[in-house]
Chains A and B, each alone.
Chain A
Amino acid sequence: MSRVSPLSQATLKTSPAPLSLSRARHSLAPWARIAGLAACALLTLGPVIWTVSTSLRTPAESFDLPPKIIPTHPTAESYRGVFDQIDVWLLALNSTLVTALIAVGQMVTAGLAGYAFARLDFRFKKPLFALVLATMMVPLQVTIVPVFLVLKSMSLTDTLLGLIIPAFPTAFGTFLMRQYFLGMPKDLGEAAMLDGAGPWRTFRSVYAPLATPGLAIVGVLAFNYHWNEFFRPLILETSGQNYTLPLGLVSLQGNLGTGSISVVLAGVVLSMIPAVAVFLVGQRPLREGITSAGVNR
């Protein structure tokens, strides 16, 4: 979806100290509040739990109501079914290639440009930065027709590169890295300069190593967004060999109808694994990134 940023620096850092208020006796009884929250959490996770458990049922059992959380006859039949129906390995390979290259590419372009805006002096710095900020407000959906034509003129439609290259520049990532570099002490660079380090050495040996947590936010955010991306692949990739996972799954559902729910759901579960892994490992940068970016997707 969009990469809109509120430009709110306040949200960039989430303070770890939660409010501990002495209001328990005034408001709802704590247990009632917690029970309500638990019910909401269950409702939120319900569709995901149902997906996983149904994918482990036989296709015949997948219509069963009430839905059984623990399948009576757990089976991996549906998982074999997905591999028979679609080339899961190819889809996963495409998705991995696209996502990984974009994530690395964005870390590089945003890291470099963010540093330039934060720490280097050059002409047209202000208007260039304003340009970058302004493009954050432009949703991709609005410009997709000309973007498609530009890629067509480069013969990049229906190629993975056509998905990857336009995603390298990231206005939001650049903004985020600029803030990140601005937050570092200026003395460090000045000391290095006095020791005879040129601008490149100063960047390479002093500032770049400190930028890892900021780059992690850019990388994790790019991974999450592009692993799940649907709109651009739908438009750009016309031949099946260039499909990414979400595209493959939606067309799988179209082909199978409702006959084999569990097979489609097995595919959905497989496609979720990397996103869930990133959620578990990189939850903190992801949270910080999402709150400061407004990315979703």
Chain B
Amino acid sequence: MTNTQIPAVRPSRPAAASAARAAQPSARDRGTRLLATLFLAPTVVGIVIFTVVPIVGSVVLSLFHWNVIDSPNWAGAANYREVFTDSTVLVSFRNTLVFMVVAVALQLLIALTLALAVNGRMPLWLRSVFRSAFFFPLVLSAASISVVMKYLFNQDFGVVNWVLGQVGIAPVPWLTSENSAMAAVILVYVWQQFGFSFLLFVGGLNNIPKEIHEAASLDGATGLRKHLHVTLPLLSPTLLVATVVGVINALQVFEQPYVLTDGGPGDSTRTVVMVIYESAFEQLRFGEASAVGVLLFVLIMAVTALQFRLSRRFVHYQ
């Protein structure tokens, strides 16, 4: 606002300096305000241009038919009607929900079991080896690792079927059958993601005061029972975070199905984000793609809100 007066705080100008001394606090406040403006500008301007405007833009675009080349045509709710009648889009929402439920459940179960196991008594170096191993897949590229997994899950020469063959299981057409493609996508996703929940659980377990465990042990609680009645309730805030973040991430799955199956066979592994990508950038239906995006956003918000609501009954804060 009064940016022109800011140089007055520089002591190198005698006249200005005395003026500044007379009005010390306000000059300093102005300096603070200018600094705050400069410090915030990159973040706030960036967020407005690349997040706030696009959110509004998504909603506006979803009300038009537009192929980028011709000028946009008002569509009203037509794009949304189309979404609810287009079988590919509907299937993609169903696939994504199935994927979310199975993948997150599996991810949490594996992560929790491993976190409890790693938390037991063992040499420190061994614990850190296990911890590193379980979190290692997280640092790899989901796209590149899916390239690798495509070979491993190959029906004829893939290592997965070879291993299954050793225990007498007939080769599974993992990526080429509508019945098993989603299972393969889920396995690849969970393999890479469980380490995230694992790290959360390890952190959560570390925050449980060990006196509580000792007290439970003295009262005779053992093994599974102790975990069920003592550890889990104390871990419930972490469990909530792991579930919420796991669900939000799972609803946006893209790389694994894109690389492994390209959504197929048929539409059996096509996810919502794949539909957004395809309808916008392959079919140039920007309006419909935006409508799907808006619906995905609403779905994510709704599922998250639901989890927080349900959590009131199950989550115990210390």
Which residues on A are within 8 Å of B, measured CB to CB?
Answer: 1-2, 4, 6, 8, 10-11, 14-24, 26-28, 30, 33-34, 36-38, 40-41, 44-45, 47-48, 50-51, 63, 65-67, 108-110, 112-113, 115-117, 120-123, 128, 131-132, 135, 137-139, 141-150, 165-166, 168-171, 174, 198-200, 203, 224, 227-231, 234-235, 245-247, 249-250, 253, 258, 261, 264-265, 268, 271-272, 275-276, 278-279, 283, 286-287, 290-291, 294, 296-297
A284 shortest CB reach to chain B, Å: 11
With a CB–CB cut-off of 8 A, which chain A residues contact B90?
none
Among candidates B47, B133, B294, residue contacting A45 with C-beta atoms closer than 8 Å = B133
Contact between B46 and A112 (Cβ–Cβ < 8 Å)?
no
Contact between A235 and B277 (Cβ–Cβ < 8 Å)?
yes
Contact between A47 and B43 (Cβ–Cβ < 8 Å)?
no
B75 shortest CB reach to chain A, Å: 15
Contact between B141 and A275 (Cβ–Cβ < 8 Å)?
yes
Decide if the interface of chain B is mainly helix, strand, loop or mixed: helix
Query: Which residue of chain A has its CB nearest to the CB of B33?
Result: A122
Q: How far is the CA of A139 from the CA of B302 in the complex (A)?
A: 14
Contact between B297 and A115 (Cβ–Cβ < 8 Å)?
no
Contact between A142 and B205 (Cβ–Cβ < 8 Å)?
no
Contact between B139 and A294 (Cβ–Cβ < 8 Å)?
no
Contact between B139 and A231 (Cβ–Cβ < 8 Å)?
no
- Nearest 10 interchain pairs by C-beta: A169-B46, A146-B57, A228-B141, A146-B54, A143-B54, A294-B245, A113-B43, A230-B143, A112-B39, A41-B133
Question: B202 at interface (Cβ–Cβ under 8 A)?
Answer: yes
Q: How far is the CA of A23 from the CA of B200 in the complex (A)?
A: 22
With a CB–CB cut-off of 8 A, which chain A residues contact B192?
296
Contact A203 B35, CB 8 Å, known A8-B241, A145-B276: yes
Contact between B133 and A44 (Cβ–Cβ < 8 Å)?
yes
Query: Which residue of chain B has its CB nearest to the CB of A220?
Result: B139
B195 shortest CB reach to chain A, Å: 8
Q: How far is the CA of A169 from the CA of B45 in the complex (A)?
A: 8
With a CB–CB cut-off of 8 A, which chain A residues contact B114?
37, 40
B301 shortest CB reach to chain A, Å: 8
Determine, out of B80-88, B98-106, B152-160, B178-186, the stretch whose residues face the partner at the interface: B152-160
Q: How far is the CA of A25 from the CA of B120 in the complex (A)?
A: 11
Question: B232 at interface (Cβ–Cβ under 8 A)?
Answer: no
With a CB–CB cut-off of 8 A, which chain A residues contact B147?
249-250, 253, 264, 268
